[in-house]
Structure 1
Amino acid sequence: MQYSHEDENFPLTRFESMLKTNDILFFDSSEFENIIHHYLENGKIALSKRAIKLGLEQHPTSINLRLFQVEILVIENKFSEADDLLDSLHNLEPTNEEIFIQKANVLSKQDEHQKAIDTLLIAIDMSNSPEDDADLYALIGMEYLFLDKFDNAIIYFKKCLESDTTDYSALHNIVYCYDFLDKNNEAIDYLNTFLNSNPYCEVAWHQLGRQYFAIKEYAKANAAFDFAIISDDTFVGAYIEKGKVLEKLKKHEEAIENYKITLALDDPTSFALLRMGHCYSKLGQDDLAIQFFKKTIDEDPLLDRGWIAICKFYMKRLNYQKALYYVNKAVTIDGDNVVYWKLYATINKRLKFLEEAERGYKRALELGNYELDTWLDRSDILTALGEYEAAIFNLLQTTEFYPENAEIEYRLAGLYFTVHQSEEGRFHLKNATCINIDYSFIISELFPQLTDRPLVRAIISDAKKTSNG
């Protein structure tokens, strides 16, 4: 008998035409189950509820249709109603494992993860099918993940994979747990054992390669990705990872070849384009490097690494005007990106656009970038602009994050002397020389007008004598 996709959708088509015409058509309970499942899969809750209602009118004793009702109640966070319905269903069919699975789902949604696990274990005792067991083991694994019990989660994801070797999400979860526990070697041992009995599993080879990459065993990682590609020569992820390994091995031409394959197999990914740009840059092929950096930001304007790469490319070649053009575009697209603002400040500073540079550092600080150099660079620019009070205020804020720091204290000393607050200047200069005399060059560098002041010279020379003595 010929079977086509249209046959599969036939009950659905009939059901939807019935809703339009208000005619009552008969469906058997399994047809209703398929219709409801289809609507739930596609997030059409209202239509699911219509189908459940009509289904129960035609099949009032169907436990499976009632279980769909439970699913809807869980989606709507009506947990006590779901519980009551499950209790009544349990009285009707005390050995129906699906009832226990739904009970566990209700418990899980209420963060009762240990109780959910206990309930799923009862379902496993009732199960007669290894395939169902695999799903149940995976559900228990997920509950243990919610509890941050990674070792227990590993046990159940492994049981899942033993029951169904094609459950790649369980494989991913095992590796995720090992990663979280920083157990790369255990992950490698497990994957190698798994591959002994599943030698053509490209996902396992791919994961093995990533583990070797993490512990810097690049030759082994390369071999693992080769096996992933032999198992599936259209596996884009394996070519990407192989490219990354080849970059580490300084084989940039080969890395480019692997990234090129991914562009041929699938829509270009911004990651592959970006890596190709970096490889061409390493090979000194600047025209191709910039071409691929531009392709990266065209492909994904929100990928910050693309904009950063293109700005740094031009900065390295001292083409600050071009770098400025791109960093201006970057901050327009994402005005809350700290790295963009630091680059914006640095580029403007190199171009002697001090007001714009100060704006960049100020914005970076507002966005929570409290690195010492951000505070100091902003203060130096405010000093250069003659904004001495603002520079002082900026440095006093800095001392909250970096108390007793010589670089800050010398600057405060210089600024206080500059605004004729000699007592404060003297206090901070003495403090600075006590912390570290080696930074006293900051005064001559940033405040050359102060170097001949007797008080300043006396404090610095006294401190030098003391440190040498």
Structure 2
Amino acid sequence: MQLSHNEENNFPLTRFESMLKTNDVLFFDSEEFENIIHHYLENGKITLAKKAVKLGLSQHPTSVNLKLLRVEILVFEDKLDQAEGILNEIYQLESSNEEIYIQKANILSKKDLHQEAIHMLETALELTYDEADVYSLLGMEYLFLEDFENAKQNFMKCLEADEEDYSALYNIMYCFDFLEQKQGAIDYLNSFLDRNPYSEVGWHQLGKQYFDLKNFSKALSAFDFAIISDDTFIGAYLEKGKVLEKLGRLNEAIENYTITMDLDDPTSFAYLRIGKCYEKLGLDELALKNYRQTVHEDPLLDKGWIAITDFFYKKANYRKALYYINKAINIDGENVLYWKRYARINNKLQNLEEAERGYRRSLELGNYELETWIKRCDILIDLGEYDAAIQNLLQAIEFYPETAEIEYRLSGLYFMLHEAEKGNFHLNNALKMDSEYYFIIEELFPDIFARKSVRDKIKLHLKSCS
């Protein structure tokens, strides 16, 4: 029976795996071993790759390529000294093999010696016929050094050598973005597309650049060309949908998001964007249906829970909003965006203790916005927790020194606790910072504001400023 080409390629692999199961020892030529090892490495099956290397070297102990594959595995496992020892042995036998220098560069890179790694790769470049891979490795080393200009140049050379290496194109765009060279990125992509007019990835990247510049008409054209080049390119439909949203063409945006669901499994992102479009169109039932699909598809996507919570919050249906934000918190209790909404909703429902808990958790999770400190303070005042409110503000003042909103509150709180000296101190500070904010005392501490001494101090300061 004649084997097909694919079966011929898989035959050594099948024989090898059969051998492992039966413990028989079969002979393979060194090239067959190389193909087997490459297959396992590409599929992340390191244990099987190691077995193949060991058996391969037992049958072909002088094979340089098998030794180099062993080095590659050792580098992956961080056994760098062992790998270096083998490379030095190979160097004595075959000093012009570019793979020696590539693996030495990998070892140096693992040791954070990126400049030395670059020197090794430059040597490999002089020896290799596969320049694209070496330029790509050089680009990565320059990225480690945060030398984005040289990284960009090497990825460009990589793409010149292999115009289908889209990872190089993505890295070039990353460098342009980091260097904030928007026009340079557009010029480069246009030049690339002149040579590759049907590159869907090139058009897609060009559209994203125009989108960032808010040039939505050109972005739309670019995404259309990406779709013409490949009408199954999901990324282009998604990006086109985003542009159409910006242009207010919501029904067309929905159509493009829906196409992605026909091409592949539905994504939470597509459901979310469709929900947003329907909400803008005033079609609340359809919006809600898609928001629910969003969180069903991906319960970890915080934007989905936030969308459905905000939907009910805007409708003043605070109990439903609280129900959904509680579900979100049960899934991810470390998400500060959830806790801020939890606090705000509970505040609306007059659940002050729960609202205070929400703001406190927001602060514990690193949300140090002035508004968070202030709102927690005001709730603590309503709860009569004056000492806790002062401690909250003393922490806030470390982040926001010389802030009138904090000083007025501290003044009122100290007066409430009968610490007149501190109350006067903070009132004087507050008036110097912004005398117009004195209404804070009036609103939060009406009994304090009613005191003649406090009112006279405020009037005197206002008079001196006029």
Q: TM-score range by the shorter chain?
A: over 0.9
SS in 2 for 1:386: coil
Note the residue ranges of structure 2 that are not aligned, 5 or more in a row.
none
Amino acid at match of 2:381: T
Map 1:330-341 onto structure 2 (within 5 A). Answer: 330-341=328-339
Q: Which residue of 1 aligns with 2:217?
A: 219
Per the alignment, residue 71 of structure 1 pairs with: 72
Task: Please name the residue that 1:417 is paired with.
Answer: 415
Cα offsets for 1:90-115 (capped at 9, x unmatched): 22122222222222222222222222
Q: 1:96-148 CA distances to partner (integer Å, 9 max, x unpaired)? A: 22222222222222222222222222222222x3xx11111111111111111
Distance in 2, matches of 1:442 and 1:231, equals 62
Matches within 5 A, 1:285-434: 285-434=283-432
Moved more, 368-377 or 425-434: 425-434
Partner of 1:174: 172
Q: CA deviation at 1:4?
A: 4.6
Displacement, 1:371? 0.8
Counterpart secondary structure, 1:26: coil
Q: Which amino acid aligns with 1:299?
A: E
Aligned partners of 2:298 and 2:25: how far apart in 1?
51
Which residue of structure 2 aligns with residue 53 of structure 1? 54
Deviation at 1:183, TM superposition (A): 0.5
Q: 1:147 aligns with which of 145, 148, 151?
A: 145
| TM-score computed with the length of structure 1 as normaliser | 0.96
Matches of 2:235 and 2:96 in 1, distance apart? 44
The answer for the alignment partner of 1:86 in structure 2 is: 87
Q: Superposed, which structure 2 residues align to 1:126-275 within 5 Å?
A: 126-127=127-128, 129=129, 132-275=130-273
- Structure 1 residue 42, shift from structure 2 partner: 2.9
Q: Which amino acid aligns with 2:234?
A: V
Which residue is equivalent to 1:108? 109
Bigger drift between 32-41 and 318-327 goes to 32-41
Deviation readout 1:409-460 (Å, 9 max, x if unpaired): 1111212222222222222222211211111111111112223211111111
| Higher deviation after alignment, 438-447 or 116-125 | 116-125
Mark the runs of 5 or more structure 1 residues left unpaired by the alignment.
Answer: none
* 1:444 aligned onto 2:445: no
What's the CA shift string for 1:180-204, capped at 9, x where partnerless?
A: 1011100000000010110000000
Comparing 172-181 and 393-402, the one that deviates more: 393-402
Measure how far apart 1:47 and its partner are: 2.5
Deviation at 1:465, TM superposition (A): 0.9
Q: Take 2:190 and 2:322, find their aligned partners in 1: how far apart are those partners? A: 50
Q: Give the counterpart letter for 2:367 in structure 1.
A: N
SS at match of 1:268: coil
1: CA distance, partners of 2:318 / 2:324 = 10
Tell me the TM-score normalised to structure 2 length: 0.97
Q: Determine the structure 2 residue equivalent to 1:33.
A: 34
Aligned length: 465
Task: Please give the alpha-carbon distance, in whole angstroms, between the structure 2 residues aligned to 1:445 and 1:33.
Answer: 79
Match of 1:16 in 2: 17
Query: 1:252-271: CA deviations, max 9, x gaps?
Result: 11111111111111111111
1:13 Cα deviation (Å)? 2.2
Task: Note if 1:120 corresponds to 2:121.
Answer: yes
Counterparts of 2:416 and 2:96 in 1: how far apart (Å)? 86
Task: Note the alpha carbon deviations across 1:53-85, whole angstroms, 9 max, x for none.
Answer: 221221122111111111122122222221221
Structure 1 position 368, deviation (Å): 1.2
Counterpart code for 1:7: E
